[in-house]
Amino acid sequence: MTTFRTHRITASLVLCVLAAPVLAADPAPCTCPDMLDLTNRNRQVKTAIQMYERSLAGWQSAGSAPAANEASRQQFQDESIEPGMIEVRDSRANTASARTGADCRTVVTAPTACLNVLMEQHEQVHRDACRAHVSQGLSVSDVLVDRFGTLDNYAREEIEAYKAERIYIEAALSNLERDCRYTLEFDSTISGSTETTKAEAKTKVDLQAYFPRGVEPLGLQGSKPLNYDTKDIGPPKVMGDPMLKKLFVNCYVASVGSGNVPFEVREAWMMRETQPPYGPLLVMPIYVGETQETRHMKGPRGCPHNSEPVPFWSEQFMLSKERAVPVEADSRSGSPGSAPGVIIADWNFSDASGDEAQKAIRVPCAGWGGMQQRAAAYAGLPTEAPTCEVTNLKIKRKR
């Protein structure tokens, strides 16, 4: 039984390879880094269909459509269709163009394999209509619009072409929802620059892409509590002459606390560079809750002693980064929208597939300079600001 099955599978595989060797060697044209281009094109295609339908309705109530010549067609395209498509365009997305001439030949200008295949879906409709027209023995002319007569016929063919393209886009987006699942590892250590504090925060989050139909696509999302542990590593060491040491009152400040806070990735997008080699990019907004540390003033007799609740890790983490637009509560994912966020961009991808990337954040200690720098120079130590934040992020696609 098993042997029989194996033979059958082998036989069909051989047939496939023989029938379509090029297809078998090609990777799927649309992969995770194409998600932004795909959703952008989907929005544009939807808009184009609406614009053509609106024009058709207008001509219907007016009783007739204008004659289709190259000038009227171009004017219609520029005035009634293009502005809407430009308005909904995401400026970060790649775009493509294509044209099927009166000779039924298609020329596609597309920067990526994914956009190329979308253009092909669209132009196939024009090509089929063009060939049908030619085979009917009707006028074969250099003028493309001859086959339309009036602009309503042109609009109908465009609607059909955009619908064919859209079917492909929606299928590709469904594939990406299934395939573009990642694990994000987040590991951050932040030391105080003016206090003897060391905070460690860690989490591991699953990310998944959501492209719900009929509403704005959500990109990559995921959440998991972040564990933090903030410790007092004081008191600071006093170096130098023993006599001076005795005089020195070693007062210091340290924050302590541990627990977990919400950690959420929302509307992160994989995309592609807009120039060759169109490599993968990732823009990831991260929203974290406020950590609950207590800041203590400490030291021997003569030092002020008190304590107050002050967030340490989360405040330091937010400080040096680009802020993300605050998000509102999302009823679809059930997540609240209050936590502040930062944007993590400029990831290092290990290759063009976009399956793995890393981001290393190193932040120099704030307030370094002046006396500290002179003291370091005097002691023969490096004078550049020491690093107070070491945060490492890593994403890996799940197989």
Residues within the interface to Zn ion (CB under 5 A) = 158, 161
User: Which residue, 158 or 293, is less far from Zn ion as judged by CB?
Assistant: 158
Write down the least CB distance from residue 30 to Zn ion, Å. 20
Write down the least CB distance from residue 164 to Zn ion, Å. 10
User: Which residue, 121 or 292, is less far from Zn ion as judged by CB?
Assistant: 121
User: Which residue, 158 or 267, is less far from Zn ion as judged by CB?
Assistant: 158
User: Which residue, 157 or 355, is less far from Zn ion as judged by CB?
Assistant: 157
User: Which residue, 48 or 207, is less far from Zn ion as judged by CB?
Assistant: 48
Write down the least CB distance from residue 148 to Zn ion, Å. 12
Write down the least CB distance from residue 122 to Zn ion, Å. 6
- Residue of closest CB approach to Zn ion: 161
User: Which residue, 160 or 177, is less far from Zn ion as judged by CB?
Assistant: 160
Write down the least CB distance from residue 46 to Zn ion, Å. 15
User: Which residue, 37 or 158, is less far from Zn ion as judged by CB?
Assistant: 158
Write down the least CB distance from residue 113 to Zn ion, Å. 20
User: Which residue, 127 or 231, is less far from Zn ion as judged by CB?
Assistant: 127
Write down the least CB distance from residue 48 to Zn ion, Å. 9
3-state DSSP of the chain: CHHHHHHHHHHHHHHHHHHCHHHHHCCCCCCHHHHHHHHHHHHHHHHHHHHHHHHHHHHHHHCCCCECCHHHHHHHHHHHHHHHHHHCCCCCCCCCEEEECCCCCEEEECCCHHHHHHHHHHHHHHHHHHHHHHHCCCCCCCCHHHHCCEHHHHHHHHHHHHHHHHHHHHHHHHHHHHHCEEEEEEEEEEECCCCCEEEEEEEEEEEEEECCCCCCCCEEEEECCEEEEEEECCCCCCCCCHHHHHHCCCCEEEEEEEEEECEEEEEEEEEECCCCCCCEEEEEEEEECCCCCEEEEECCCCCCCEEEECCCHHHHHHHCCCECCCCCCECCCCECCCCCEEEECCCEECCCCCCEEEEEEEEECCCCCHHHHHHHHHCCCCCCCCEEEEEEEEEEECC
Write down the least CB distance from residue 336 to Zn ion, Å. 44
Residue 183, Cβ density class (10 Å: 0-12 exposed, 13-18 middle, ≥19 buried): middle
